[in-house]
Amino acid sequence: MTNPVTLLIIFGIVLVLLFILFYPKTGFYWRLQQSYKTDPKILIEDILKKLYHAEDNGTKLSSDHIINSLNSSPKKILETISEMEDKELIRFKKGEIKLSETGMDYALRIIRVHRLWEKYLSEKTGFHKKDWHEIAEKMEHKLDSQQTKQLAINLGNPRFDPHGDPIPTETGEVEQLNGKPLPKFKEGAIGRIIHIEDEPEIIYKQILAEDLHIGSHIHIIEKNKKRIVFHSEGEEFILAPIVANNITISELKKEDISEKDTFRLSNLKEHEHAKIIGISRECRGEIRRRLLDLGFVMNTKIEVDLTSPMRNPRAYLVRDTSIAIRNEQAKFILIEKIKIHAETN
């Protein structure tokens, strides 16, 4: 019989090899697969998008900017740019690149697919927010106009993507957002989050970690060069201005909002009573419908019934029934605490 130690070592080596080959994303096999596909079409479309966003922000782009911001070889990018000029997608104006009319149309089409696909991911799939952008980046190059149209119809021709960005229509119209970045507001201002920018990724991840929701009301408490403090849904948030800059707020007048104290259901303590005010817009698709169907609708009385051994999920008493949901979903249900005086038996 072979020595067991030798056998185990051989086994270990095989395991390590498989690991190196197939480790998700960075595995050798996947990289090899990846290196096969760099499509000139994708590069063109990526450049168009860059230009569109730049024009939208009012910044100017030269070829150098583009070379620095995309990770393809400079040679290839320059070739592509001149090809795009030949096709009259772009024009040069004093060293600065501008989109032509056709280029603009093309760019809007790509952006439409991108945002529709993010909407699709948010409504119909279980992918996490942080992955939407990356997946949509791939899909935007793949869908033709017929498929895009079908997708839009299936989603009910949405007007905004899940980040609050307007989705260009088929004819290339884009709605304007009438809000300003969070740091532009003064202390004491009250507003509603209408958009959260998902690029760059580092900042988006920080915002995600804070767990802010589109559609929630915020109240700015403190603002200075170092930080902005605000309240939303019964919780306090502290952000650096650079992070806050990626959150767009539309201001609300004091009269527009009732002076109710809104909390998240996940914050409800045992023995407290509450009434449901609504479900956050951040909660979408199937799960939103399921919660509504289960009776988590406006003005329903609710209290905590049971807490599982690991504190999540919890069961709530809604319309005489105990329904268990995870804290991740309870967070989206907005409540107002109510007092019940005589504790009934």
Partner 1 sequence: MKTNKILNTSNDLRWQIGEGFHDKLTEGIYSDAATIAQNSVHKKGDAKRFRFDRSLDKIVTSKIWGFPIMILILSVVLWLTIIGANYPSGLLADLLIGEIYPWLKGIGESLGFSWWLSGFLFDGVYLALAWVIAVMLPPMAIFFPLFTLLEDFGYLPRVAFNLDHLLKKSGAHGKQALTMSMGFGCNAAGVIATRIIDSPRERLIAIITNNFSLCNGRWPTQILIASIFIGALVPENFAGAVSTLAVIAIALLGIFFTFIVSLFLSKTMLKGEVSSFTLELPPYRPPRFWKTIYTSLIDRTLIVLWRACIFAAPAGAVIWLISNVSIGDSNIANWMILHMDGFGLLLGLNGVILLAYIVAIPANEIVIPTILMLTVMSAAITGVGEGNGVMFELESVPATGDILKAGGWTLLTAINLMLFSLLHNPCSTTIYTIYKETKSVKWTTIASILPIILGFTVCFIVTQVWRILA
Partner 2 sequence: MQKPTNSACEGCDLNQASNLKKLGINIDNNDYVVALAGNPNTGKSTVFNALTGLKQHTGNWPGKTVTRAEGGYNFNNNKYKIVDLPGTYSLLSTSQDEEVARNFILFGKPDVTIIVVDASRLERNLNLVLQILEITNKAVLCLNLMDEATRLDIEIDDRTLARDLGIPVVPTSARSKEGIPELLKTVHQVATGEIICKPHRIKNVPKNINNAIEKLRLEIEATYPNVPNSRWIALRLLDGDERIIEAVKTGEFITE
Q: Which residues bind partner 2 (CB under 8 A)?
A: 153-156, 286, 289-290, 293-295, 318-321
Closest to partner 1 by CB, 89 vs 304, is 304
Alpha helices in 125-236 (DSSP H): 129-139, 145-154, 201-210
Please identify, using beta-carbon distances, which residue of 18 and 242 lies nearer to partner 1.
18
Contact 339, 273 (CB under 8 A): yes
**Residue (101 or 328) nearer to partner 1, CB:** 328
Q: Which of 87, 68, 76 is nearest to 38 (CA)?
A: 76
307 binds, among partner 1, partner 2, none (CB under 5 to 8 A by kind): partner 1
Min CB(293)–partner 2 separation in Å:
4
Q: Does 146 bind partner 1 (CB under 8 A)?
A: no
168, two tokens = 């260009």
- Residue 154 interacts, among partner 1, partner 2, none and using kind-specific CB cut-offs from 5 to 8 Å, with partner 2
Q: What are the residues facing 247 on neighbouring strands? A: 196
- Tokens 């990846």 locate to 34
**134 lies in the binding site for partner 1 (CB under 8 A):** no
Q: What DSSP string describes 189-227?
A: -EEEEEEE---SHHHHHHHHHHT--TT-EEEEEEE-SS-
Angle of CA points 247, 193, 113, to nearest 5°? 75
Q: Binding of partner 1 at residue 269 (CB under 8 A)?
A: no
324 lines the binding site for partner 1 (CB under 8 A): yes
Site membership for partner 1, residue 24 (CB under 8 A): yes
- Residue 165 CB coordination number (10 Å): 22
Q: What is the DSSP letter of 97?
A: E
**Checking phi first, is residue 38 left (phi over 0); if not, alpha (psi -120 to 50) or beta?**
beta
Asked if 292 interacts with partner 1 (CB under 8 A), we say yes
326 is in the binding site of which of partner 2, partner 1, none (Cβ under 5 to 8 A by kind)? Answer: partner 1
* Residue 328 is a binding residue for partner 1 (CB under 8 A): yes
Spatial CB neighbours of 18, under 8 Å, sequence gap ≥ 6: none
φ, ψ at 286 (rounded to 5°): -55, -45
User: Minimum distance from CB of 57 to partner 1 (Å)?
Assistant: 27
Among 227, 256, 312, 338, binds partner 1 (CB under 8 A): 312
Q: For the beta carbon of residue 254, count every other beta carbon within 10 angstroms.
A: 8
Contact status: 218 vs partner 1 (CB under 8 A): no
Q: Residue 109 CB: number of other CB atoms within 10 A? A: 19
The answer to whether 285 and 291 have CB atoms below 8 angstroms apart is no
For partner 2, the closer of residues 158 and 241 by Cβ is: 158
CB 162 to partner 2: min, Å? 17
Which of partner 2, partner 1, none interacts with 11 (beta carbon under 5 to 8 A by kind)? partner 1
> Which residue number, 124 or 260, has a Cβ lying nearer to partner 2?
124
Element (H, E) at 286: helix 285-293
Structure tokens at 165: 């960005």
Q: Which stretch binds partner 1 (CB under 8 A): 40-48, 53-61, 156-164, 174-182?
A: 156-164
**Residues that bind partner 1 in the complex, under the rule CB under 8 A:** 1, 4-5, 7-8, 11, 24, 125-128, 131, 153, 156-159, 278-279, 281, 286-295, 297-298, 300, 305-313, 315, 317, 320-326, 328-329, 344-345
